[in-house]
Structure 1
Amino acid sequence: MSLRTTLIRASAVLAAALLVATAPPAPAPAAPAPSPGPAAGAGETGAARWAVQPSSAKGPTGRNYFIYDLAPGSTLTDHVGITNLGDRPVTFDVYGTDAYTSTDGAFALLPADRPATDVGSWIRVDRREWTIPAGKRVDIPFRLTVPANATPGDHTGGVIGAVARVRTTADGQRVLVDQRLAARVYLRVNGPVRPAVTVEAVDVSYANPVNPFAGGDLVVRYRLRNDGNVRIGGSATVTVRAPFGREQARTSPTDLPELLPGATFTVTERITGVPPLLRLTAEVDIAATSTDTALPPVVRTAGVWAAPWLLLALLAGAAGWAGLRWWRRKAAAAGRPSTPDPAPGQQDPAATPRPAATASAATDAAAAGPTPAAATGPTPAAAAGSTPGVDARPDTPPAR
């Protein structure tokens, strides 16, 4: 691992330890007590511990930050107080740098290997290195010169007191660690103030549940950008609406971090228990504020399809079953043989019992008379003496 890479990583980790940069700007009634710097690693002795705060030629003034309101071309002189809280002299690297909003919304300062291009480059210290005895404080003067062509609005940075220390890692490598503490600098350059914030993108995703009545998770991600020239804060709310604008869920107002001019920040909101109602719309409402005034609300919407698949599958199955039954009935009706309707006064043959049809046939035969005998062969005696239409009885004696 190179020394430069180690220095960058250590600077990023220790930037969160900025002591004076953890509270919003507010006047303090008394001089704040200096806080110790980061402690040394385990097993080290004589670790450097220090504090950095706004001061004056006669000592701390009770300010939490350097806050200025200057015109282009102006110059002022101020002091930063660095207190050595350790038990041995320490040499500090004192300089100015620029600030930016990190991806997680935190106030951050440029790493040591990146040169300042804004307010940090306008700060000049008489010399870079200052050796401070143990238990002592030194009020170091610096000059801040605003360029004549400086853009109006907010310019943010910090005055850093850093200690570069060579340490040995567990595997025996020697690395240079840059430990830094800083006091913030908030500079407002006179001129037109233009606060503005935009919602650049809104992405909505929905985890469709198996049970449509249980509801699913709706995740809304949106990116904010400070397009103005002043710092922006405020709050944001997400409202979930069903078709026809019916509200389904609403998040509690989320406090936005301090967005410096040009900064972007991504917000992620997860809303649980949202029912799948075919189409869901997420409405992002930004109530932004600046140090001067509140901004008009910024609203942006995006939608996502949320089909109740299980319910639609059940409905499709029921519709298919009903259609199949209808088709079978139609097919059965088409395959049945058709019969003509009986004439008026005539009985339907299909509705007449078979025995009645036989009796009718026999009666018709009797009314027609005897059946002529065949041309060949003798006629049976019983048949010759029988009366037409009367059955011959075998037990009846013949007539004499």
Structure 2
Amino acid sequence: MSLRTTLSRASAVAAAALLVATATPAPAPAAPAPSPAPKAAAGETGAARWAVQPSSAKGPTGRNYFIYDLAPGSTLTDHVGVTNLGDRPLTFDVYGTDAYTSTDGAFALLPADRPATDVGSWISVARREWTIPAGKRVDIPFRLTVPANATPGDHTGGVIGAVARVRTTADGQRVLVDQRLAARVYLRVTGPVRPAVTVEAVDVAYDNPVNPFGGGDLVVRYRLRNDGNVRVGGSGTVTVRAPFGREQARTAPTDLPELLPGATFTVTERITGVPPLLRLTAEVDIAATTTDTALPPVVRTAGVWAPPWLLLALLAAAAGWAGLRWWRRRGTPAGRVTAPGPDDTATAGRRPGPVSDAAPAGPHPDARRPDAP
């Protein structure tokens, strides 16, 4: 593996995209630094410390970032100040590169082994290597040329001041470590501006508790994408609703990182003490903003089943008991023999005979007695 390849891989973990920052790496072993930097004297740690900031031909201007509004085809010249804060001369690599939003929402710059394809490739420096004496600052000019076919909107990158140093690992391997600091570049190319944020996906998971009165944890994970051509920020809120839209919980607004055009970012919210109410709905509300204005709210919902198992089990048991009692209390089942009643005793043992319509024997009530007048 070549020394430059090792440099490229090690640069991914070095500090990047910091503005007017000071780098203080751990003391290096007594090993020769790469040419053309001078060798450290015996016993000298030679800790490198430096700063990178926007500047001018006469010195720093107090700017925090390089911020430009340019039309396609425009060209300008600016300066980046690189200050050697150490006690010996240092050689810096000075160049431009592109920025991106990392998975954790941080502003990041491309590693050294990845060539720039956007604003970083539009930045040119007279030469790449600059040797700066101890305690001195050099204001290095660079040219920014916007292509005639550049797309409107935001293009973000950085001007890097990097120091390459030889380190010896624990197993005796010598590696070239690329330590980088940068001043951010925010360029807006004139033309139609299209701010847009999309909630691509919402995933809801519920930890159903045994005790429904104690509540469970509801985890809402949603992914945002900047579909526009300008960088956006803002905040996001999650509201939990029960059936019929009743609000159960609401999170405090979560600040969103700065999303560069095309960037995605995943937000995870955990809401505790949510009771199982059969069906829970999570409503994600994004209030996005640009550097110029606020955007219309973006709302997306997703639901999850949250049955109260203990209550349902109790209801099922109560319903089963009620059904059993009803079954026992209904009419006598067929084939069951009951005890005889009082009227049945008088006729017990009699054999049923024919029923006659004849009048009973004896005098008729209308018959006259012999002595009747």
- TM-score, normalisation: structure 1: 0.79
Residue of structure 1 equivalent to 2:221: 221
Q: Which has the larger radius of gyration?
A: 1
Q: Is 2:344 the counterpart of 1:349?
A: yes
Q: 1:260 to 1:332 in 2, by over 3 A?
A: same
SS in 1 for 2:320: helix
Q: Please say if residues 19 and 51 of structure 1, whose CA atoms lie closer than 8 Å, have aligned partners that are also in contact.
A: no
**Counterpart for residue 281 of structure 1:** 281
Deviation sequence 1:343-388 (CA, Å, 0-9, x none): xxxx613489x9xx9xxxxxxxxxxxxxxxxxxxxxxxxxxxxxxx
Does residue 119 in structure 1 map to residue 122 in structure 2? Answer: no
Cα deviation for residue 243 of structure 1 reads 0.4
2: CA distance, partners of 1:207 / 1:241: 16
SS in 2 for 1:333: coil
Q: Deviations over 1:312-349 (max 9, x none)?
A: 111112222222333344586334226899xxxxx613
- CA displacement, residues 20-58 of structure 1 (integer Å, 9 cap, x when unaligned): 1xxxxxxxxxxxxx5422323476701111100000111
What value does the CA root-mean-square deviation take over the aligned residues?
2.3
Unaligned runs of 5+ in 1: 21-33, 342-346, 358-400
The alignment partner of 2:280 has SS state of strand
Write the letter of the residue equivalent to 1:305: W
What pairs up with 1:33-52 in 2 under 5 angstroms? 35-41=21-27, 45-52=45-52
Matched to 1:276, the amino acid is P
Question: Is the CA contact (8 Å cut-off) linking 2:97 and 2:158 kept in structure 1?
Answer: yes
The percentage of aligned residue pairs carrying the same residue is 88
Judge conservation of contact 1:38–1:179 (CA < 8 Å) in 2: no
Q: In structure 2, what is the equivalent of residue 11 of structure 1?
A: 11
- After superposition, residues 309-388 of structure 1 pair within 5 angstroms as 309-330=309-330, 333-337=333-337, 348-350=343-345
Q: Which residue of 2 aligns with 1:394?
A: none
| Structure having greater relative contact order (Cα 8 Å, sep ≥ 6) | 2
2:276 and 2:308 in contact (8 A); partners too = yes
Provide the secondary structure at the position in 1 that maps to 2:333: helix
Note the C-alpha offset of 1:86: 0.9
C-alpha distance 274-7 of structure 1, shift in aligned 2 (>3 A) = farther
Change (3 A) 1:189 1:330: same
2:12 partner SS: helix
AA in 2 matched with 1:303: G
The aligned amino acid for 1:122 is W
Change over 3 Å in CA distance of 1:42–1:128 after alignment to 2:
closer
Match of 2:264 in 1: 264
Distance of aligned partners of 1:169 and 1:279 in 2 relative to their CA distance in 1, 3 Å threshold: same
CA contact (8 A) 2:238 2:284 kept: yes
In structure 2, distance between residues paired with 1:39 and 1:90:
14
Name whichever structure is richer in helix by fraction: 1
Offset at residue 170 of structure 1 (A): 1.6
| Partner in structure 1 of residue 236 of structure 2 | 236
Pair 1:9–1:315, CA change in 2 (3 A): farther
Q: Do 2:122 and 2:145's aligned partners in 1 also have CA atoms closer than 8 Å?
A: yes
Higher mean displacement: 312-321 or 228-237? 312-321
Gapped runs of 5+ residues in structure 2? 31-44, 350-373
Superposition pairs of residues 70-81 of structure 1, within 5 angstroms = 70-81=70-81
322-331 or 229-238: which moved more? 322-331
- Per the alignment, do residues 105 and 340 of structure 1 end up closer, same or farther by CA in structure 2, a change over 3 Å counting? same
- Native 8 Å contact 2:29 2:167 kept in 1: no
Q: Which amino acid aligns with 2:68?
A: Y
- Map 1:105-116 onto structure 2 (within 5 A): 105-116=105-116
Deviation at 1:158, TM superposition (A): 0.1
Quote the Cα distance in structure 2 between the aligned partners of 1:208 and 1:333.
45
